[in-house]
Amino acid sequence: MTDTAPRARRSDATRAAILRAARERFAADGYERATIRAIAADARIDPSMVMRYYGSKEGLFAAAAEFDLRLPDLSTVPPDRLGETLVRHFLGRWEGDETLAALLRAASTNPGAAERMRRLFADQLAAAVAGFGTDPATTARRAGLVASQTLGLAFTRYIVRLPPVVEMAPEDLVAWVAPTLQRYLTGRPGS
């Protein structure tokens, strides 16, 4: 029988090292300043290996920016806790994984990364918002508003590093931002 999952290759460790270094560099420097040479140096291999395994810089980024928001099923969340659940989830998700920071930085300057960001929110966030039973006509808009506050928080806290936003404790952020998301998800315009 044809084995779909290829057996472990001897180079898997190298591939993983490249991916880890790539995520770090993309997150720290953005797409154009993160050079293949620097990534290869971090991974302690030759730049040509990156090309062999990922084809091109774009291919490497595509592999490194694969990201799953792992949003919970919102239909199982108490309806008045949707906002709180989401902020807390987002904070935890990207505090522990720099992939989203990489995607965020790159999306500012790289058209492909921007497209990827759009798909991420269309496929994952909008889908989750649709999952708890809002009027389908408004879900896209609600998801977009949630994205605007959510990405703005990430942008100011992890990219631009605005001091007051950086210094706020996660629980304070939850307390302030949760009501915003709650209203975007379940409220009406004008409050």
- The closest alpha carbon to 150, from 110, 185, 115, 189, belongs to 185
Rounded Cα–Cα distance for residues 24 and 110 (Å): 17
Residue 173 corresponds to which tokens in the numbers above? Answer: 């952020």
Contact between 96 and its own copies by CB under 8 A: the answer reads: no
Contact between 161 and its own copies by CB under 8 A: the answer reads: yes
Of residues 62 and 77, the one with the C-beta less far from DNA: 62
Of residues 53 and 132, the one with the C-beta less far from DNA: 53
Three-state DSSP state, 179: helix
Q: How many other C-beta atoms are found inside a 10 Å radius of the C-beta of residue 115?
A: 11
Residue 9 corresponds to which tokens in the numbers above? Answer: 């290759």
Of 15, 23, 25, 105, the one binding its own copies (CB under 8 A) is 105
Provide, rounded to whole angstroms, the least separation between the CB of residue 141 and its own copies. 5
Amino acid of residue 159: I
Of residues 31 and 121, the one with the C-beta less far from DNA: 31
Give me the residues that bind its own copies (CB under 8 A), please. Answer: 29-33, 104-105, 107-109, 114, 117-118, 121-122, 126, 140-141, 143-145, 147-153, 155-157, 159-165, 168, 172, 175-180, 183-184, 189-191
